[in-house]
Structures are given as C-alpha cells and as structure tokens.
Amino acid sequence: MSSLQTASGESPLGDPCFYIDADVSRGWPHQSRSTLCKFGVTDRKPEDRCEENERALQEEWGIKTGLEVVFVATGQITTAEKEIADYTRPWLTGPFQENSEWRRCPPRELARIAILVAEDRQR
C-alpha cells in the first residue's frame, strides 16, 4: 500500500492525514452523485473528526446525517488540500461558504481526484 493510502483508518500519532467523510444515510453508494462529503487534513483520529463534523452539521446548519470515514491517506496528499478544494469547487453545496470543504459528489470520485492532485504535485 502506498503512502497515499492507509487501511487502518487511523492517523499515525502526530502524522497528519487527509480524510473524506461521507453521509452514508441517504442511499450511498447507490445514489452517490448526491452524497454529502467533507474532506480535510487532521492530526487526530479521522473518526473523531468525523464525529465533530457530524455535530457541526446538526448544530450550525440543522442538517442531520450519518457520516462515516470513507477514505484516509497520509503523505504528500496532506499538503494538497487547497488544490483539492479549488479543483472540486463546482461540487460546493448548499449553505456552505466558498472556503468550505463540504461537497455534494460521489465519494470515490472525490478520493480519486485527491490522489491525482497529490500525485501531480510530486511531479
């Protein structure tokens, strides 16, 4: 497994990781085009960040979801967050501000784009 992908779903202590959370309560993966996703970089456990993101959705925007961590990666991808955000801006959704990392998109496609952007930065 490359440094871009980890199977454990946990960030090694102190190492930042890139994560994608997806709302699995609304038909994912069958209706993945409309899945609400959140991506970001954290140095904490992605599961803890996911719980925080779910709470923030409920408290700040009144959106109830069933978020789960669907992708975790370490390495160069953790420095590409802004480029990933810029590239996926057309998927920005609803009440979220322009600099938000929330997207309505297929989670797998978001993960593929994140990997490609990170790999492109290495060239």
pLDDT of residue 39: 98
What is the identity of the amino acid at 80? A
In the predicted model, is pLDDT for residue 12 greater than 80? no
d(CA 36, CA 31): 11
pLDDT of residue 114: 97
pLDDT of residue 95: 79
The pTM assigned to this predicted structure is: 0.84
State the average pLDDT over residues 70-97: 92
In the predicted model, is pLDDT for residue 97 greater than 90? no
Closest to 24 (Cα-Cα) out of 32, 16, 13? 32
In the predicted model, is pLDDT for residue 10 greater than 60? no
Q: How is 7-39 classified by DSSP, letter by letter? A: SS-SPPTT--EEEEEEETTSSTTTTGGG-EEEE
Please name the residue ranges forming H helices in the chain.
46-61, 81-87, 107-122
